[in-house]
Amino acid sequence: KAGVTQTPRYLIKTRGQQVTLSCSPISGHRSVSWYQQTPGQGLQFLFEYFSETQRNKGNFPGRFSGRQFSNSRSEMNVSTLELGDSALYLCASSLGTGNSNQPQHFGDGTRLSIL
């Protein structure tokens, strides 16, 4: 069974640009969550999508947005990039139904560097 696939693995952008990251969940998983990992702030929840609808949202500015397609693939977009957006962005998928004790399966992440 293929795991969670994130593309691209590495990205270099400059301040003010925008970027789109992609995540393909495990087949059959309908929930996709995004996390930002930085040395200073650790792992922080960005948002979760389930059946093409945003179900949960973390405390990030509106420059961070996402969407989910009918095949459960998800994209996140960051506009007007700032130096502080440099991070590893992780995507996780799960079945999404039932209660919250289902494990989430993570991809290897996209490393975003802002110059």
| Min separation Cβ 60 and another protein, Å | 13
What is the chain's length? 115
**Can you give the binding site for another protein, defined by CB under 8 A?**
4, 6, 31, 33, 35, 42-45, 48, 50, 55-56, 58, 90, 92, 94, 96, 99-109
Q: Is 99 exposed, middle or buried (0-12, 13-18, 19+ CB in 10 A)?
A: exposed
Residue 19 vs 49, nearer CB to another protein: 49
By beta-carbon proximity to another protein, the closer residue of 70 and 101 is: 101
Shortest separation between residue 100's beta carbon and another protein, angstroms: 4
User: What is the smallest separation between the CB atom of 73 and another protein, expressed in angstroms?
Assistant: 17
- Give the C-alpha separation, 63 to 105, whole Å: 26
Q: Distance (Å, rounded) from C-alpha 80 to C-alpha 36? A: 17
- Cβ–Cβ under 8 Å, residues 10 and 114: no
